[in-house]
């Protein structure tokens, strides 16, 4: 921010690049950052604008230091919530605080330990779909793996596979619809009156009906498998009451949406990076072999795979699944001498922060060792799970699952060296595109 004024990118420039932005907005934003500096304002019309920033101090200020003055934007609180309801991901204010306090204990490490063997079983079941010695797009397999892992963590007992498949279809269809709404605001009336939005909202109603059946089955059976559903059913507010059913269904639906998407993306990018770096891949395999021979529980095994954890952290630096964080300030604020008018839309580019040359040495280089000695989450320019009180509640679950998945895959396969560039597809999350890999049995 120079001279206490935020540089502005005019509306005509946005319009001139509209078609490219719909496909991939990142090059447009990167060019603006390089030309305007670490914070700029993009005009979206006569009255509308968004403040983009890749300043990690500004991000931490809004997410931690003065987080009470910043709320999530309507993208999550309204646009996304119409498909997934009001839960931890989309709620704000007192409802969010109430739900966070209620659900947080279910994601403590001791509670998650009970789920690790279930997750490992899912991983083993899903990676049998890898076709050896053939070029395959690994994303679809890892996407199914991550969705099934969330499903079995929530519902340990046997459930109809058709239910899970339908839930997966619905959550992914709703996200694709939301992307269209956000990238093509000029089609708002067409989406609304043409029936597309109503169609997808009806799909999410169907998803809630499926979840209600599963919850009712659990209550009627009296089974207590110790999964996340049990923990959510047992959770009590400070006054001793349980969640109302509609709120419970919202939270479960959001766990499906938030719990599988980012994990499958991160796993896919990590495998592609391992394919480009066979030496690092071999270190992961050797660590797996040592950990397997010297541990007896899944949790101890994960703790022993420290280098694998570094690999995943570095992968999420280069390709952060949650590649932007949005906020709106409730009251006028000031940062670094610049006034932020009330109700400004702010968008922090996590992918730009993660590759900022002022904060990272050789930022484009894949180097897991940069995160040695637990340096990852402590780094001031690292936000793979957000920051502050709204940091992703499932970060430990995601890391455990990814360590188990990566090690289980390298246990069975060498990933053939990949020479072609890694392609991306920025939607609500940063998704891989054409993740073609070849797996050679060991």
Backbone phi, psi, residue 277, to 5°: -135, 80
pLDDT at 374: 79
C-alpha–C-alpha distance, residues 247 and 251, integer Å: 6
Judge whether 105 lies within some domain. no
Q: Give the residue-averaged pLDDT of 107-123.
A: 91
Structural domains in the chain (count):
1
Q: Which pLDDT does position 269 carry in this prediction? A: 98
Would you say residue 233 lies in a domain?
A: no
314: Cβ contacts below 8 Å, ≥ 6 apart: 273, 366, 367, 368, 370, 371
Residue 354 backbone phi and psi in degrees, to 5? -70, -15
68: CATH: 3.30.43.20
d(CA 107, CA 54): 30
Instruction: Give strand pairing partners of 339.
Output: 334
List pLDDT tens digits, range 197-210: 999 999 999 999 99
Query: Looking at residue 85, what is its pLDDT?
Result: 87
Residue 413 resides in a domain: no
- Asked if 349 contacts 323 with a C-beta cutoff of 8 angstroms, the reply is yes
What is the model's pLDDT at position 1? 42
- Assess if residue 100 is contained within a domain: no
Position 279 pLDDT exceeds 60: yes
Tokens of 304: 């022993």
194 in any annotated domain? no
Rg (Cα) of the chain, in Å, rounded?
22
Residue 281 counted as domain residue: no
State pLDDT tens for residues 162-193. 888 898 889 889 888 988 888 777 788 999 99
Tens digits of per-residue pLDDT, 121-163? 999 999 999 999 999 999 999 999 999 999 999 988 767 778 8
Q: Pick 291 or 89 by higher pLDDT.
A: 291
Q: Determine, yes or no, domain membership for 259.
A: no
C-alpha triplet 199, 203, 207: angle, nearest 5°: 170
Q: Specify if 143 maps to a domain.
A: no
Domain extent for 347: 1-83+323-358
């Amino acid at each position: 921010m120079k001279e206490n004024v935020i540089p502005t990118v005019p509306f005509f420039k946005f319009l001139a690049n509209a078609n490219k932005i719909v496909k991939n907005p990142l090059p447009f934003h990167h060019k603006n950052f390089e030309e305007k500096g670490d914070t700029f304002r993009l005009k979206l019309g006569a009255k509308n604008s968004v403040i983009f920033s890749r300043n990690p101090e500004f991000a931490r200020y809004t997410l931690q230091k003065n987080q009470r003055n910043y709320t999530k934007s309507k993208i999550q609180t309204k646009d996304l919530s119409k498909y997934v309801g009001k839960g931890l991901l989309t709620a704000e204010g007192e409802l969010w605080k109430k739900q966070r306090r209620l659900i947080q204990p279910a994601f403590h490490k001791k509670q998650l330990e009970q789920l690790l063997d279930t997750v490992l079983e899912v991983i083993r079941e899903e990676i049998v779909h890898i076709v050896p010695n053939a070029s395959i797009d690994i994303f679809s397999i890892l996407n199914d793996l991550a969705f099934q892992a969330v499903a079995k963590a929530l519902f340990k007992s046997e459930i109809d596979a058709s239910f899970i498949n339908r839930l997966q279809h619905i959550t992914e269809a709703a996200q694709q619809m939301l992307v269209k709404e956000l990238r093509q605001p000029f089609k708002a009336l067409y989406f609304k009156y043409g029936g597309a939005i109503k169609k997808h909202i009806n799909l999410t109603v169907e998803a809630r009906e499926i979840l209600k059946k599963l919850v009712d089955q659990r209550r009627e059976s009296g089974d207590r498998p110790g999964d996340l559903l049990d923990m959510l059913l047992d959770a009590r507010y400070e006054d001793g009451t349980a969640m109302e059913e509609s709120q419970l269904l919202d939270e479960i639906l959001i766990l499906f949406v938030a719990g599988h998407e980012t994990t499958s993306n991160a796993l896919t990018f990590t495998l592609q990076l391992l394919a480009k770096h066979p030496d690092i891949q071999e270190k992961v395999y050797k660590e797996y072999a040592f950990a397997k021979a010297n541990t007896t529980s899944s949790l101890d095994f994960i703790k022993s795979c420290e280098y694998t954890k570094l690999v995943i952290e570095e992968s999420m630096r280069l390709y952060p699944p949650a590649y932007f964080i949005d906020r709106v300030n409730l009251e006028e604020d000031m940062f670094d001498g610049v006034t932020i008018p009330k109700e400004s839309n702010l968008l922090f580019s996590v992918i730009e922060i993660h590759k900022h040359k002022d904060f990272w040495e050789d930022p484009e280089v894949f180097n897991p060792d940069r995160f040695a000695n637990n340096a990852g989450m402590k780094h001031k320019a690292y936000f793979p799970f957000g920051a502050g009180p709204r940091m992703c509640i499932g970060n430990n679950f995601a890391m455990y699952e990814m360590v188990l998945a990566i090690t289980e895959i390298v246990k069975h396969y060498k990933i053939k060296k990949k020479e072609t560039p890694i392609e991306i597809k920025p939607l609500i999350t940063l998704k891989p595109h054409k993740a073609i890999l070849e797996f050679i049995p060991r």
